[in-house]
Amino acid sequence: MKLKLFIPVFLLFVSMSFLSQGQSAPKYSNEFLSIGVSARSMAMANSSIASVNDVTAAYWNPSALTLIPWDLELGVMHAEYFAGIAGYDYLGGAAKLNESSAFGVSIIRFGVDDIPNTLELIDNEGNIRYDRIKSFSVADWAFLFSYAKVSKIEGLRYGGNVKIIRRIAGDFAGAWGFGFDLSARYEKGNWIFGAMGRDITSTFNAWSFNTSELEEVFILTGNEIPENSMEITLPKLLLGTAYKFNISEKFSGLAEADLDLTFDGKRNVLVKGDPISIDPHLGFEIGFKDILFFRGGFGNFQQVPDYDNNNDFTFQPNIGLGIKIKRLAIDYALTDIGDQSIALYSNVFSLRYGLNKVEK
């Protein structure tokens, strides 16, 4: 029975992956959707595919939405990157439809605001006019609509996302995209296994450009004027394995190892390949009375050439804390967005709040 469910989905994923590669597909398309959501997950180096069980499951593994302990759970997150130049925000909600199904809606935005537009800085008489400076934003938006269902197979849950992508660069360019995700979660004893197929049929972004203000500059500088086009985001397969255990009567533990498999060619990750590259990451969580949590993780393993053309092995360390007070959960993560030698750390906070706890 499990094979009958697994084989068609697997074949669909593989066939669409290689079919899309036959078309023009840029590497790292829609990469803002790979950053992650929730400070808990970021503290664990994004190792959440198997263990996630809250509203953020809509992003990590929609099948786990059936595990939220409330009738309705809300989640928010804010993070800043590059010394506050870029902002990254998440807002999500999930609700149980019944004991065996759940629904979720998520909004993700990554953007840079208040960028000066100096195209009209100099008027026709050659005067500098600061009052003519305008501002614009460059932003990527994602809207996720999620559904999850408990399978008749004990321990198995499945789900998926329908997602709409909106990308804008002021009045100069914009794109609309549409795609699907599929996921599954299987739990056996203390072991949890998760799988997330993102963009399983590839996600297509249709770009349109308004170059009327830029044509003269493009011609003078010898740049090619962009034309309306289609951008393809190839499928990605995320696999996770987690193990839950008790340290003592008051302390609990969880460890998870994930693998991100990309199909867009060789990337600078631990396992480089063409067309498949593999990026592993590890995370752990130690809980005290299900109230206080300490978390850590290691990811972004890379080999970086130094000045002598030798490869240095680098990784990204993350740590974080969490507190759960009745309906409210507050999570914090200190994440290194560069390699360990640069140490450009970002502070990430996220909140979750539950309503109408399901009585069992």
Where do the domains of the chain lie, and which CATH numbers do they carry?
A: 2-357 (2.40.160.40)
Mean pLDDT by 10-residue block, N- to C-terminus, for the chain (360 residues)? 41 41 60 92 95 96 95 93 84 95 96 83 77 86 97 95 93 91 96 96 86 66 72 92 95 97 86 89 96 94 76 86 95 72 71 77
Please tell me the distance from the alpha carbon of residue 176 to that of residue 296, in angstroms, as a whole number: 36
Residue 357: what pLDDT? Answer: 65
Residue 249: what pLDDT? Answer: 92
pTM over 0.75: yes
Determine if residue 45 is left, alpha or beta; phi over 0 gives left, psi from -120 to 50 gives alpha, anything else beta. Answer: left
What are the distances in angstroms from CA 340 to CA 260, 316, 318?
21, 6, 10
Length of the chain: 360
